[in-house]
Amino acid sequence: MLWQKIEINILYQDEHYIFIHKPAAIASVPERGNPSAANVQEWLKQQYPKANLCHRLDKETSGVLVAAQHIDAHRELSYLFHQRLVNKYYHALVKGVHHIDEPVVINLPLNINNPTKVKIDKQNGVEAITAIISIAHFRHYTLLECKPITGRTHQIRVHLAYYGTPIIGDYLYGGEDIFLSQIKRKKYKISVDEEERPLNKRFQLHAQRIRFENSFGSYEVSAPYPKDFEIILKQLQKYDK
């Protein structure tokens, strides 16, 4: 079985919830066109037969996912999600220097009828709200923290693209690759017959933290950056300050 090849870490668990560190390139649930591919839901069923995911992350997004250990825990957290009482924080790397020192709220409705590519639709779209703030600046790039108030498909990705800050590697919404030659400049050498590969292998979006409180307790769990995300940030800290 493919799920046996997945390496998934547990960030925290108790008798009510399991906080999973989802790797990039692994879907949260079975994919429509490839239902037999490895996914977190199938892995979860094998490891914790009674547990169920409470939300999802895009396939290429890494970070915190929460599963409930029993039906009451699932019901309570689902209610909190519905009432917008779950605080989720994502980190996104974008091109350009953006000094967003106070939270900016992007309130733009989305047309999610086509889940493969979501669009801004001010006439007929569903409500979508994201708060963003800068948390690190480099010479050519910015690390943003994004807090989605609503939880629409591709919400952060579309909102950042519309704001003029598409996520690095998010080709679907206008994001570009990041190359070492762009940040090392004179220090970078490559042979004429060699093609430089981008530092990013996916779009650089990470579900860094989640926080909520209900009758089962007060929870706040963070996921460290995966290796690919961390390597890029270290390169920026070294060469793009």
Question: What would the pLDDT profile of 70-127 be if each residue is shown by its tens digit?
Answer: 999 999 999 999 999 999 999 999 999 999 999 999 999 999 999 899 999 999 999 9
Q: Which residues are catalytic?
A: 58
Predicted pLDDT at 192: 66
Residue found under tokens 């190359």 = 179
Does residue 161 register a pLDDT over 60?
yes
> HEC states along the chain?
CHHHHCCCEEEEECCCEEEEEECCCCECCCCCCCCCCCEHHHHHHHHCCCCEECCCCCCCCEEEEEEECCHHHHHHHHHHHHCCCCEEEEEEEEECCCCCCCCEEEECCEECCCCCCCEECCCCCECCEEEEEEEEECCCEEEEEEEECCCCCCHHHHHHHHHCCCECCCHHHCCCCCCHHHHHHHHCCCCCCCCCCCCCCCCCEEEEEEEEEECCEEEEEECCCCHHHHHHHHHHHHHCC
- CB-CB neighbours of 99 under 10 Å: 8
Task: Say how many C-beta atoms besides its own lie within 10 A of residue 199's C-beta.
Answer: 19
Distance CA 156, CA 106 (A): 10
CA distances in angstroms from 217 to 19, 64, 68, 76, listed in the order given:
14, 18, 13, 11
Q: What is the CA radius of gyration of the chain?
A: 19
Q: Locate tokens 């779209």: which residue? A: 125
pLDDT in tens, 7-19: 899 999 999 999 9
> Tell me: the pLDDT tens digits for 54-80?
999 999 999 999 999 999 999 999 999
What pLDDT was estimated at residue 4?
Answer: 53
Please, which pLDDT band fits residue 184 given cuts at 50, 70 and 90? confident
Tell which wins on pLDDT, 22 or 115: 22
pLDDT for 187 equals 67
Rounded to an integer, the average pLDDT of 24-29 is 94
Tokens for 73?
A: 């825990």
Q: Between 33 and 38, whose confidence is greater?
A: 38
Instruction: Grade residue 3 by pLDDT with cuts at 50, 70 and 90.
Output: very low
- Structural domains of the chain ordered from first start: 2-239 (3.30.2350.10)
Six token digits for residue 214: 């209900």
Tell me how far apart the alpha carbons of residues 57 and 55 are, in angstroms, rounded to a whole number. Answer: 7
pLDDT at 164: 94
pLDDT band for position 31 (50/70/90)? confident
What is the residue-averaged pLDDT of the chain? 93
Where does the pLDDT of residue 188 fall: very low under 50, low under 70, confident under 90, or very high at 90 and above? low
Q: Given pLDDT bands bounded at 50, 70 and 90, which one contains residue 193?
A: low
Look up residue 70 and give its amino acid.
Answer: H
- Alpha-carbon distance of 215 to 192, in angstroms, equals 63
Maximum alpha-carbon separation in the chain: 63
Give mean pLDDT, residues 139-144.
96
